[in-house]
Amino acid sequence: MKRIKYTILGTVVMMSMACRKELGKLPENAKVEGNTILDQRTSEIALNGVYYRFAAVDAGDNVTKWFEHQVPPAAFAGYLGYGYGADDAEVNNNYVRSGYGESYWTSSYQLINAANGVIKGVTSLDDKLFTGNRKKQVLAEARFLRAYAHFKLLSFYGQWFDVSSPYGALIREEFVQVDALPKARSTVKDSYAAIFADVDDAIANAPAENKPWYATRWAAMALKMRILMSHGQPGDYEQVTALADSIILNSPYKPEPQTKDIFYTKGLNSSEVILGIKPQQNQENYYYVLGRQYWPGASALYVAKTALKDLLQQDPRSAWMIGSVNAQLPDTYYFLKYIKEGTTPTVTSETAYAFRLTEVYLLKAEAIIRSGGSLQAARQILKDVMARAGVTDYTAVDNATSVNEMLKQVYLEIVRNLLAEDGQEWMALLRLPPSLIQELRPTANDKIKFILPIPHAEFLSNPAIGLQNPGYEK
């Protein structure tokens, strides 16, 4: 009997290996063999491997790769860009020629397959092998991660904005031991149904308390709020408000009094982080980390564009989010939300954020507006959020007296507050009325440009998938 040690998400886990069966293999390749999940201990080891995929850890350098969650959506929305020369997506929302077009496909399906392996293995085990509700909790956490990945795919590769569309996500609910198994994509309606089923299970059965880099029922509620906002059907916005109230009133999370402190001092210790990404051990000392690609530039450089600088012009956040001019490309500036100019990466600067309580407040405000609720109630939520970021001038918010004007103000605060965290600056933009989309992002002038083309390689390995997204057939 050998003992093998793996470092996963900063936690050292000891595992046994007998008869050449590597129980710890999952964290390296995100695959689960049927006989590697044997009991509660090995179930939790395998689940940790799914989180390893969620954090997008590169086994080669042991560094989290949260880039695709932070940069491409902000580039699509026009606020961040590539500092050595603009990408086509940030200039004109041309995804065919963009370097960001395939960002989510492979990583999402790696996460889904890892989650499916855990779900398959744990489901087959006798309940008596687990203490208390732990079996249900492990399954709920895996289903949360699968729902998160499927919704990411629907959001970026499916017509999520049209529940009658046949162009949904490729939903995979079976563990496969090959890179691809022929399967057709689902309709948008069926995609939502599968995602809602997983997230509802997570709400019912995930732990109420967990470390901030592991899922809870509160994280599942926050995810469901995002899904409902995209779904946008009658009754959805009332559900969003109810979920927000449940999180705000009953969860252990509290708003951070000073937003800046989350990114510069507290990280995952912040009272408002619902789910974050913990950097790997000594990650901050590796040269090619994301922090160095914000300042001063390493293998890449990602910068704030003029649109962001203009948006923050009268906002106190400009002082710590926008740095000096990037000499490599005109009209771009160092983006300092995560790392101060002139400093080196730290554990805090390498921390990433999937869900924060601030998003819950902002989605509640948007849902109130969309459901025909009190504009004054939404306005007060918005002003409270802005106050925690140091804002004292609420003129634009106070002057917003129509539904469209209030939706615009909520969106602009989503950008200012949640930019470069997990894609909400892009998804919230696309939810706006067409006139506002055109005002704020003129190049997003066709719903074809709301989503990305499915990567060509998928059609080669999975001919059953069906049609390419409209507008990208050639």
Q: What is the pLDDT of residues 204-216, one digit of tens each?
A: 999 999 999 999 9
Q: Is the pLDDT of residue 198 over 70?
A: yes
- What's the CA gap between 468 and 466, in Å, rounded? 7
Q: Please tell me the predicted confidence (pLDDT) of residue 287.
A: 93
| CB within 8 Å of 449: residues ≥ 6 apart | 93, 95, 443
Q: pLDDT, tens digit, for every residue of 86-95?
A: 999 898 888 8
Read off φ and ψ for residue 64, nearest 5 degrees.
-70, 140
Q: Are 270 and 262 in contact (CB under 8 A)?
A: yes
Q: Please calculate the CA angle 9-211-260 and round it to the nearest 5 degrees.
A: 90
Segments in 1-104 forming alpha helices (H): 26-29, 40-54, 67-76, 88-92
> What is the 3-state composition of the chain as percent helix, strand, coil, each rounded to the nearest 5?
50, 10, 40
User: Does residue 232 sit within a domain?
Assistant: no
Q: Is the pLDDT of residue 7 over 80?
A: no
User: Does residue 399 sit within a domain?
Assistant: no
- What's the CA gap between 427 and 429, in Å, rounded? 5
User: Does residue 318 sit within a domain?
Assistant: yes
Q: pLDDT, tens digit, for every residue of 371-385?
A: 999 999 999 999 999
Strands 63-64 and 57-58: antiparallel
For the chain, what percent of residues have pLDDT higher than 90? 87
User: Does residue 338 sit within a domain?
Assistant: yes
The DSSP secondary-structure symbol of 251 reads S
User: Model-level pTM?
Assistant: 0.92
Number of C-alpha atoms within 13 angstroms, CB side, residue 406? 26
Q: pLDDT, tens digit, for every residue of 184-195?
A: 999 999 999 999
- What's the CA gap between 159 and 167, in Å, rounded? 6
Q: Please tell me the predicted confidence (pLDDT) of residue 341.
A: 97
Q: Please tell me the predicted confidence (pLDDT) of residue 180.
A: 64
- What's the CA gap between 61 and 130, in Å, rounded? 34
The DSSP secondary-structure symbol of 266 reads I
The DSSP secondary-structure symbol of 263 reads I
CA distances from 466 to 101, 110, 269, 462 (A): 19, 21, 45, 9
Residue 115 token pair = 């989650």
End-to-end alpha-carbon separation of the chain, Å? 55
Q: Is the pLDDT of residue 177 over 80?
A: no
User: Does residue 337 sit within a domain?
Assistant: yes
- As a whole number, mean pLDDT of residues 169-198 equals 92
| Amino acid of residue 125 | L
| Amino acid of residue 295 | W
Mutual angle of helices 357-370 and 236-250, in 10-degree steps: 150
| Band of residue 178 on the pLDDT scale cut at 50, 70, 90 | low
- Domain of 344 in residue numbering reads as 279-350
Q: Is residue 130 classed as helix, strand or coil in its secondary structure?
A: coil
User: Does residue 334 sit within a domain?
Assistant: yes
Q: Is the pLDDT of residue 30 over 50?
A: no
- As a whole number, mean pLDDT of residues 2-20 equals 30
Q: Is the pLDDT of residue 217 over 80?
A: yes
User: Does residue 116 sit within a domain?
Assistant: no
- Give the number of residues written for the chain: 474
| Band of residue 96 on the pLDDT scale cut at 50, 70, 90 | confident
Q: Are 474 and 467 in contact (CB under 8 A)?
A: no
| Band of residue 418 on the pLDDT scale cut at 50, 70, 90 | very high
- What's the CA gap between 469 and 156, in Å, rounded? 11
Q: What's the chain's average pLDDT?
A: 91
Q: Is residue 48 classed as helix, strand or coil in its secondary structure?
A: helix
The overall longest dimension of the chain from CA atoms, in Å, is: 71
Q: How far is CA 455 from the centre of its chain?
A: 20
User: Does residue 225 sit within a domain?
Assistant: no
Counting the structural domains of the chain, the total is 1
Q: pLDDT, tens digit, for every residue of 320-375?
A: 999 999 999 999 999 999 999 999 999 999 999 999 999 999 999 999 999 999 99
| Band of residue 248 on the pLDDT scale cut at 50, 70, 90 | very high
Q: Please tell me the predicted confidence (pLDDT) of residue 35.
A: 57
Residue 356, classified by CB atoms within 10 Å of its CB into exposed (0-12), middle (13-18) or buried (19+), is buried
Q: Which of 52, 60, 16, 53 is nearest to 36 (CA)?
A: 16
Strands 332-335 and 352-356: unpaired
The DSSP secondary-structure symbol of 339 reads S
